[in-house]
């Protein structure tokens, strides 16, 4: 995932934070490709993200068919990585234990 982020995600604070977390050994909880509608409903957790949620949700909403997403857990934080076909990776971040809708 580290190399993929270097190639596919725009440079910025979320990408830098996620890369640092991966270097520290953050756990990739899920990495899945499938119908965008299903992945959004069951796996995205965009409602728990406090940074970058808008672009990640937009990438999920505009995906026509299949999309890839990953969730990474680090100490006290979780990252959502959305990899739309033909577009840049979108990264969102939120507290690991954030309740839905927070």
The verdict on residue 12 lying in a domain is: yes
SS3 of 54, please? Answer: helix
The domain total for the chain is: 1
The verdict on residue 102 lying in a domain is: no
The verdict on residue 90 lying in a domain is: yes
The verdict on residue 28 lying in a domain is: yes
Q: What is the pLDDT of residue 25?
A: 95
The verdict on residue 101 lying in a domain is: no
Q: What is the pLDDT of residue 96?
A: 81
The verdict on residue 100 lying in a domain is: no
Q: What is the pTM of this model?
A: 0.82
Q: Which domain holds residue 85?
A: 2-95
pLDDT tens for each residue of 14-23? 999 999 999 9
């Amino acid at each position: 995932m580290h190399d993929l982020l270097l190639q596919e995600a725009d440079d910025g604070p979320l990408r830098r934070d996620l890369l640092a977390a991966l270097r520290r050994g953050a756990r990739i909880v899920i990495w899945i490709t499938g119908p965008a509608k299903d992945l959004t409903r069951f796996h995205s957790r965009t409602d728990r993200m406090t940074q970058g949620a808008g672009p990640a949700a937009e990438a999920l909403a505009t995906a026509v068919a299949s999309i890839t997403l990953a969730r990474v857990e680090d100490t006290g934080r979780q990252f959502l990585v959305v990899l739309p076909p033909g577009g840049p990776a979108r990264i969102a971040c939120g507290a690991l234990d954030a309740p839905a809708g927070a």
